[in-house]
Amino acid sequence: MDTNQRLPHDTAMAMAQAILDVVASCVHPSMHRDAFDEFFAICKAGIEAFNIQQQRMQQRLRPGRN
């Protein structure tokens, strides 16, 4: 995994863990892993969508470099 992929992955992992920490008392312990996996998938998708939007905005700001 290169650096461009590692940062979103690590960020999504940290976010998913933080969310699970907040709601852990509301989720049965046997479901923690499933909950974490769901949180991770949602966080990673959001980060990837943000990165795509950011790249589009940068291309609009520098149209000569497309």
Domain ranges of the chain: 3-65
Cβ neighbours of 12 (radius 10 Å): 20
Q: Read off the pTM.
A: 0.83
State what percent of residues in the chain have pLDDT above 90. 79
* pLDDT tens-digit readout, 15-38: 999 999 999 999 999 999 999 999
- Rounded to whole angstroms, the maximal C-alpha distance in the chain is 54
| Closest C-alpha to 35, from 46, 48, 21, 49 | 21
Tokens 């969310």 belong to residue: 19
H or E stretch at 63: none
